[in-house]
Structure 1
Amino acid sequence: MFYQVYVRSFADSDGDGIGDLPGITSRLPHLAELGVDGLWITPFYTSPQHDHGYDVADYCDVDPLFGQLADADALIARAHELGLKVVFDIVPNHTSSEHAWFKAALAAEPGSPERDRYLFRTGKGENGEEPPNNWDSVFGGAAWDRIEGTDQWYLHLFDRTQPDLNWRNPEVPAMFEAVLRFWLDRGVDGFRVDVAHSLYKESLLRDQVKEPDDDGKRRSAVAGEGGMVEVKAKDEPMWDQPEVHDVYRAWRKILDSYEPARMSVAEAWTQTPESTARYVRPDELHQAFNFAWLLAPWSAAAFKEVIDSTLSAIELVDSSPTWVLSNHDVTRHVTRYGGGPVGLARARATTLTMLALPGSSYLYQGEELGLPEADVAPEFRQDPSWFRTGEIGRDGCRVPIPWGGDAPPYDFGPGTGHPWIPQPEEYGELTVEKQAADPSSTLAFYRATLAARRDLVAAAGDAIDAVEVTGDVLTFERGPVTVVVNCGKKPLDLPDGEVVVSSAALVGGKLPVDSAAWVRTG
């Protein structure tokens, strides 16, 4: 069980309105009390921050915005004192345009060794004025940027300040293997691999075959107006190429060479459960986020389909699934499920369901407080996709979380006033301080559920039985626990046994609508 920390928005130690490493360290007791096993921290490396750290200029140092290298060491040490593992985010698809390699590439000639570290190509048209192919950026617009005054273009599947690396150049894998060892030697317990499916592109960089209404990317209904998902067209010459698996076989050898062995988890937006499962074969990465669970609507039948297809695919590679409901790239699930009391009730119920499933789960900071997606005014939006497309981006799920007090910044950091993205007034009722004193709060629910998970469910191994849908009700068994999820329109009777935890208070002994429960029946 891991907890995602979005470094900018977790805790601010110096009052500049931006979260940092000392801030995270100061709040680690919250995670220990919550009952998670570890934390995944988004990038804090040296960066111009065009994509809030996912544009890395130096993979082996800490950006002054977030602290110093010694602060990373102190965070790892304090987490280990509290029994928490620490996973760092690594970004291997692209660097910042301010990385020393890319600066050298711009200064060099076409066809030079410096340019071969990236994907430079000659443009189409009489004077090279058109992009080399028809690929689109995930952040909107073309995936190519032209070097002014030349016919040369470079590929960027994300922002123009994030040039894609050429993984067929041996210098690239060698550099990242050195980066892994740098942080592993400092005690980190593993890595989350950003867009793990994107490293290799088809070698000819051919045009993408698109449907007539396909702009090269799909915005999922799960993301509403805010979240972005990766390119998901039927034809994907830029994603999920077979060569990428050799990279992770090499990385697995490095991870396994440390004592104790370290772990890895892939962000891989692939088209099927089977293609995702390939990333967690025994000699590759340890985990891969199961985005099918995140994408599922509030539906007993949809939940069953995801559970069945995920477990079937994972069984083929003798691995375990990894579940996630929210992260820094998608609309918070309280809002996805309808917002308000209904959205919160469904969010709690789906969380309870997820935590009963086999494998690992990842929580996103603030979901233990029931935070909804925030409505960020245009003048405060900072997501690069907003600037490229004019569409609402991911800022609403990245608003700094509230710790205490009655006014901004709600103890997010010292001083007064709003942090880097303003917090809504409703956060004043959702602080850790207030919820810790309320036994019926969402925070209390998460703490109770995680405690029950350790005591009852985790010991059951990967076995899950009797996954059934009856009408709008999902049930399954995990060890001594029967899980019941009421997606219907009326309260229902629970099976005989002790109710261990429920996402909502029972009414007359019945499970309310939009809720779930664990019942000890074994």
Structure 2
Amino acid sequence: MRALSSTTRPWWRDAVIYQVYIRSFADGNGDGVGDVAGLRARLPYLSALGVDALWLNPWYASPQVDAGYDVSDYRRLDPLFGTLDDAESLIVEAHEHGLRVILDLVPNHTSDQHPWFQEALAAGRGSKARSRYHFRPGRGPDGAKPPTDWPSIFGGPAWTRTVDADGEPGDWYLHLFAPEQPDLDWTNPEVREEFEDILRFWLDLGVDGFRIDVAQGLTKDPAFPDLADLAGQTAGGMLDAAGTGHPYFDRDETLAIYEDWRRVLDEYEGDRVFVAEAWVADASRIARYLAPKRLHTAFNFGLLSCPWEADALRGEIDATLRVLTGIGAPATWVLSNHDVIRHATRYGRAKTSLGDAKGLYGSPVDHVLGERRARAAVQLINALPGGTYVYQGEELGLPEVEDLPPSVWQDPNRHHTAHVGPVRDGCRVPLPWSGIAPTFGFSPDGASAQPWLPQPPEWRHRTATAEEQDPHSTLNHYRTLLRVRREWLHRGLGDTAPLEWIDAPAGVLAFRRGEVVCYVNLSDEAVQLPKGYRVLIASEPVGGGRLPADVAAWLVRQQ
């Protein structure tokens, strides 16, 4: 067992946090869906990987229209995943393995099956129950047009019309996501009090923090203006940064909510933490969420939008560190998550940014090149100041599954619009643990149910068991990388050590942090490493003092 780390600086400032997409991690009861029992059984694997904490995607009671992001009861587990007793046991056992637990909190909207929304529908127009959500009359003489031109991120209008008790068309309600996900009205004191109580409920059970879903959302312009009437504002999507003055994203009023939440969290001992999922215009906008007495950390999504080019990556790193250092907040680096195309696939194409990847979805991928670059990228971010996130399966080098048949798609993007981009199910396929055929140990031996999404047969080479036995595998690279990082935190890789750029050949990123020098070769040719140094760890074999293309290395001075 590995004890929870105990230092004078908060653990989350340079932590490595593993994202558990629970329905796809490990199935303990054989129904084809991952659950708490499966996760508990795999805690030794996560501890051995070397991460510091787990972020769990929503496990609350839910109709599962949007994979749990439509919550009907925030204080109860969905039966798919287990019971509240199972949750408490997991928290205790994770702590015994040296792993903290961060829960995903969904405050922008509830499920339409939540008791509040059901009460609102029954209560009718103008009722107190409806004031917890955004109900508004439609436009036009018969109210048949939506109140605004706002679009749903999942396609179609962001408004759905209700039917009154007499069967006549009624008011409309706002849902920035699926119609089954009505937006809460955060000007209502009941809403604020309820979520502060939800925070305390889980903090009392021992969780170590919360990831805040759609943290840039929550409050809306009370005038409800049309986007078409606002200069510079477009509909965009969840992953498209909103401009200043947007009517429903990145509004100043949202920040006051987090000041209240911070006061709740500060009542508890043990360095509890908030991390914001906030898709905003740039690092300066992120900084507003991380001001003192607000949130602790926020995902730095900028690297997802960077091509595999040294100048672009350096520019994003500099911009992020310049802003966050100024307010004393740590960076939190991300390469993949449950909403975006896996970076091992993005990096295997000629154009490598997330924006490019959407347009190239389904086109040929050089998987060897993609995995090579992915290993270099994870070594890069773990040498930067701040913390990092690992999305489950990236430690196995898993690619995006882009050939799932439409019959198995569950992403609401595909239910509410006919767009032709990525289906998010491709990064959510259940993990392969062992064996040579599906279910690859995802479910117990003898289970009759198939995984909720089909696993590619070629993943027999990608199982955790297979990679454990290969000293050159991506899994073993991650294990070694995180072990070395932990060993050198106090000699240059901790959050306090500044980053100093070093002159290097074109196409190469080179910087020093304390005693550690990081080189990342993003050019097309091998480059000479500096003399007088030895390789501490490299993403691929390095020999003859030259760093091959698409390889990262950490160096320290020879003794």
Q: Could you tell me the TM-score, scaled by structure 2's length?
A: 0.89
Matched, 1:446 2:478: yes
Q: Which moved more, 1:507-516 or 1:29-38?
A: 507-516
Map Cα deviations across residues 461-516 of structure 1 (whole Å, 9 max, x no partner). Answer: 24111265642111111111111111111011112311011111125432111111
Whether contact under 8 Å (1:123, 1:129) holds in the other structure is yes
Q: In the alignment, what sits opposite 2:361?
A: none
Q: Where in structure 2 are the equivalents of 1:30-69 lying within 5 Å?
A: 30-69=45-84
Match of 2:377 among 350, 360, 369: 350
Q: Give the CA deviation at 1:169.
A: 0.4
Map Cα deviations across residues 349-404 of structure 1 (whole Å, 9 max, x no partner). Answer: 11100000111111100000000001211111100011112334200000001000
Letter in 1 for 2:405: A
Letter in 1 for 2:546: K
Q: CA–CA distance in 2 between the matches of 1:272 and 1:204?
A: 26
Q: Which moved more, 1:172-181 or 1:289-298?
A: 289-298
Q: In the alignment, what sits opposite 1:224?
A: none
Q: Give the CA deviation at 1:457.
A: 3.9
Q: Give the CA deviation at 1:293.
A: 1.6
SS at match of 1:138: coil
Q: In the alignment, what sits opposite 2:4?
A: none
Distance 1:212 1:463, change over 3 A: closer
Q: Give the CA deviation at 1:209.
A: 3.6
SS at match of 1:362: strand
Letter in 1 for 2:417: T
Map Cα deviations across residues 330-350 of structure 1 (whole Å, 9 max, x no partner). Answer: 000001112411111111111
Q: Where in structure 2 are the equivalents of 1:200-215 lying within 5 Å?
A: 200-209=219-228
Q: Once superposed, what is the RMSD of the aligned Cα atoms?
A: 1.8
Q: How many residues align?
A: 513
Q: In the alignment, what sits opposite 2:286?
A: 276
Letter in 2 for 1:156: H
Match of 2:368 among 327, 341, 364: 341
Whether contact under 8 Å (2:31, 2:449) holds in the other structure is no
SS at match of 1:309: helix
Match of 2:411 among 372, 383, 398: 383
Letter in 2 for 1:300: A
Q: Give the CA deviation at 1:158.
A: 0.6
Map Cα deviations across residues 384-426 of structure 1 (whole Å, 9 max, x no partner). Answer: 0111123342000000010001111100012256300000112
Q: Where in structure 2 are the equivalents of 1:359-378 lying within 5 Å?
A: 359-375=386-402, 376-378=404-406
Q: In the alignment, what sits opposite 1:286?
A: 296
Matched, 1:85 2:113: no
Match of 1:2 among 17, 25, 41: 17
Map Cα deviations across residues 71-90 of structure 1 (whole Å, 9 max, x no partner). Answer: 00010010011111000110
Whether contact under 8 Å (2:77, 2:84) holds in the other structure is yes
Q: Give the CA deviation at 1:214.
A: 8.6
Distance 1:336 1:187, change over 3 A: same
Whether contact under 8 Å (1:457, 1:479) holds in the other structure is no
Whether contact under 8 Å (1:138, 1:230) holds in the other structure is no
Letter in 2 for 1:197: Q
Q: CA–CA distance in 2 between the matches of 1:399 and 1:517?
A: 31
Letter in 1 for 2:278: A
Whether contact under 8 Å (1:320, 1:462) holds in the other structure is no
Match of 2:459 among 388, 412, 427: 427
Q: Percent identity?
A: 49
Letter in 2 for 1:238: Y
Matched, 1:264 2:274: yes
Whether contact under 8 Å (2:245, 2:251) holds in the other structure is no
Q: In the alignment, what sits opposite 1:463?
A: 498
Distance 1:169 1:469, change over 3 A: farther
Q: In the alignment, what sits opposite 2:351?
A: none
Q: Where in structure 2 are the equivalents of 1:388-427 lying within 5 Å?
A: 388-390=416-418, 391=420, 392-414=422-444, 415=447, 418-427=450-459
Match of 1:485 among 511, 516, 520: 520
Structure 2 unpaired stretches of 5+: 1-15, 349-364
Match of 2:87 among 43, 53, 72: 72
SS at match of 1:248: helix
Q: CA–CA distance in 2 between the matches of 1:87 and 1:194?
A: 12
SS at match of 1:67: coil
Whether contact under 8 Å (2:310, 2:509) holds in the other structure is yes
Structure 1 unpaired stretches of 5+: 219-227
Q: In the alignment, what sits opposite 1:308?
A: 318
Q: CA–CA distance in 2 between the matches of 1:446 and 1:261?
A: 26
Q: Give the CA deviation at 1:150.
A: 2.3
Map Cα deviations across residues 156-186 of structure 1 (whole Å, 9 max, x no partner). Answer: 0111100000000000010000000000000
Map Cα deviations across residues 177-217 of structure 1 (whole Å, 9 max, x no partner). Answer: 00000000001111011011101111111111489999712
Q: Which moved more, 1:317-326 or 1:91-100?
A: 317-326
Q: Which moved more, 1:317-326 or 1:147-156?
A: 147-156
Q: In the alignment, what sits opposite 1:114?
A: 129
Q: In the alignment, what sits opposite 2:353?
A: none
Q: Could you tell me the TM-score, scaled by structure 1's length?
A: 0.95
Letter in 2 for 1:92: P
Q: CA–CA distance in 2 between the matches of 1:458 and 1:432?
A: 30
Q: Where in structure 2 are the equivalents of 1:221-240 lying within 5 Å?
A: 229-230=239-240, 232=242, 236-240=246-250
Matched, 1:180 2:199: yes
Matched, 1:509 2:528: no
Distance 1:452 1:184, change over 3 A: same
Map Cα deviations across residues 282-333 of structure 1 (whole Å, 9 max, x no partner). Answer: 2111110001022211110111011100011102322111111100000000
Q: CA–CA distance in 2 between the matches of 1:5 and 1:118?
A: 30
Matched, 1:475 2:505: no
